[in-house]
C-alpha cells in the first residue's frame, strides 16, 4: 500500500542520509538517520571508510573520471541490500566520497559527465524554484523549501561540501522524481521507499526506468543497476504527494503496480 504523507524533512529522522565519508557505523549506531545539525566538517577532511581503502579499489583521481569499483567491493555493497532484492542487482556504481556521492549517482544514471553532479544540483534548484508553492505544501512551508534550496546550492565545482549539502532522501526524493520525470528509489537495510513524479505522467517521461540509490556503510550512496524479470523491476512502497499530484501523474501508480507487487512478494517471503 502506498504511503500518503505530507513531507517535512526536519521532522523525519530517516531523511538524513549523509554521503560524505564519516566514522564507521559501528561507532555511530545502526541508524542511517543521524541528525548532523550544524556540524560544518567538510568531506575533504574526512578519511575513507574501510571499504574504500582496499587495494583492489580504483579510486578516481582529482578531476578525473569516476570508476566502478572491483567485484569484491560491489559484493560488499550488494550485501547491504534486503536479501530478496540482491538477486536483481546486476552491478554497482560507487562514486567518489566527496560529499556529492548521491548526486554523482544520479548523474551517472542520467548519462551525465564526471561533473554531472553539479548539473544535477542546478536542475533540482530550477525545479524547486519554478514550483515553490507545491513544494511548500509538501515540505511544511516556505522556510523549509528555502533550507532545501540552500543545501543544493554550490558555488563552484571545487567547493567543499558541508554536511548540510548532502543528499537527503525526504527532502530530495520528490524533487528528483519531478526533475527527471521518472521514479527514484531509495534502498537500504533500514528502509526502502519509492518516489514517483507528481506533475507529469509516464507518457510524458523521456525514460520511465527507475533510478535506484542505495545507502551503504551508514554514510555513503551508490547506484544499483537492477535487472528486469519479465519486464518488471521491484519497486518498494510509494511515498505519494497525493494532494499536489496532477491527473496525468496519478497514472504512475498504475504504471508501477506490477513492480510494487513484485517487491511485496519478495518482502513477504522473507518474513518468518
Domain spans of the chain? Answer: 16-22+66-266
What length does the chain have? 272
C-alpha–C-alpha distance, residues 68 and 101, integer Å: 13
Q: Would you place residue 271 in the very low, low, confident or very high pLDDT band (cuts 50, 70, 90)?
A: low
Q: What is residue 72's predicted lDDT score, i.e. its pLDDT? A: 79
Lowest mean pLDDT among 4-8, 187-191, 205-209, 233-237: 4-8
How far is residue 193's CA from residue 104's CA, in Å, rounded to a whole number? 20
Residue 271, burial from CB neighbour count under 10 angstroms (0-12, 13-18, 19+)? exposed
The closest of 4, 5, 9 to 144, measured between CA atoms, is 9
- The span from the CA of 225 to the CA of 93, in Å, is 8
pLDDT at 19: 43
Contacting residues for 268 by C-beta, under 8 A, at least 6 apart: none
Cell numbers placing 96: 567518489
As a whole number, the mean pLDDT across the chain is: 81
Measured in degrees and rounded to the nearest 5, phi and psi for residue 3 equal -90, 125
The CATH fold of domain 16-22+66-266:
Cathepsin B; Chain A (3.90.70)
Per-residue pLDDT reduced to its tens digit, 244-266: 899 999 999 999 999 999 999 98
Distance CA 179, CA 154 (A): 18
- φ, ψ for residue 265, nearest 5 deg: -60, -45
pLDDT tens, residue by residue, 133-145: 999 999 999 999 9
- Give the integer Cα–Cα distance in Å for 222 and 17: 12
Q: pLDDT tens across 41-62, in order?
A: 333 333 333 333 332 233 333 3
Please name which of 267, 259, 203, 268 lies closest in space to residue 232, comparing C-alpha atoms.
259
Rounded distance, CA 192 to CA 85, Å? 10
Residue 185's SS3 state is strand
- Report pLDDT for 24: 34
Is the model more confident about 219 or about 11? 219
What is the C-alpha to C-alpha distance for residues 48 and 97, in angstroms, rounded to an integer? 8
| DSSP 3-state of 9 | helix
pLDDT attached to residue 114: 82
pTM greater than 0.85: no
Do 169 and 14 meet the contact criterion of CB atoms below 8 Å apart? yes
User: How far is it, in rounded angstroms, from Cα 106 to Cα 69?
Assistant: 17
Residue 93: CA atoms inside 13 Å, Cβ hemisphere, count?
Answer: 23
Q: Choose the weakest-confidence range: 19-23, 80-84, 183-187, 241-245.
A: 19-23
Look at residue 240 and give its three-state secondary structure: strand
DSSP letter for 229, please.
B
- Phi and psi based region of residue 190 (left: phi greater than 0; alpha: psi -120 to 50; beta: remaining): alpha
As a whole number, mean pLDDT of residues 54-81 equals 58
Percent of the residues in the chain that have a pLDDT greater than 70, as a whole number: 73
pLDDT band at 65 (very low <50, low <70, confident <90, very high): very low
Greatest Cα-to-Cα distance within the chain, rounded to the nearest angstrom: 52
Instruction: Name the residue with higher pLDDT: 243 or 168.
Output: 168
Amino acid at each position: 500500500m502506498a504511503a500518503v504523507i505530507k513531507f517535512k524533512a526536519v521532522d523525519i529522522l530517516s531523511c538524513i542520509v549523509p554521503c560524505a565519508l564519516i566514522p564507521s557505523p559501528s561507532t555511530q549506531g545502526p541508524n542511517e538517520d543521524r541528525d548532523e545539525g550544524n556540524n560544518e566538517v567538510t568531506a575533504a577532511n574526512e578519511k575513507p571508510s574501510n571499504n574504500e581503502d582496499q587495494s583492489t579499489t580504483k579510486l578516481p583521481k582529482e578531476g578525473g573520471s569516476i570508476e566502478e569499483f572491483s567485484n569484491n567491493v560491489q559484493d560488499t555493497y550488494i550485501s547491504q541490500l534486503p536479501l530478496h532484492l540482491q538477486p536483481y542487482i546486476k552491478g554497482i556504481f560507487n562514486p567518489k566520497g566527496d560529499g556529492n556521492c548521491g548526486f554523482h549517482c544520479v548523474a551517472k544514471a542520467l548519462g551525465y559527465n564526471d561533473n554531472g553532479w553539479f548539473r544535477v544540483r542546478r536542475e533540482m534548484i530550477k525545479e524547486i524554484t519554478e514550483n515553490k508553492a507545491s513544494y511548500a505544501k509538501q515540505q511544511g512551508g516556505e522556510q523549509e523549501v528555502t533550507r532545501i534550496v540552500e543545501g543544493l546550492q554550490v558555488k563552484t565545482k571545487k567547493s567543499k561540501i558541508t554536511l548540510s549539502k548532502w543528499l537527503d532522501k525526504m527532502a530530495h526524493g520528490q524533487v528528483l522524481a519531478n526533475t527527471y520525470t521518472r521514479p527514484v528509489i531509495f534502498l537500504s537495510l533500514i528502509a526502502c521507499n519509492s518516489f514517483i513524479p507528481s506533475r507529469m505522467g509516464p507518457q510524458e517521461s523521456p525514460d520511465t526506468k527507475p533510478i535506484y540509490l542505495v545507502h551503504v556503510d551508514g554514510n555513503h550512496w551508490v547506484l544499483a543497476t537492477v535487472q528486469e524479470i519479465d519486464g518488471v523491476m521491484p519497486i518498494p512502497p510509494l511515498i505519494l504527494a497525493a494532494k499536489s499530484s496532477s491527473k496525468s501523474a496519478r497514472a504512475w501508480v498504475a504504471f508501477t503496480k506490477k513492480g510494487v507487487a513484485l517487491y511485496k512478494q519478495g518482502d513477504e517471503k522473507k518474513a518468518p
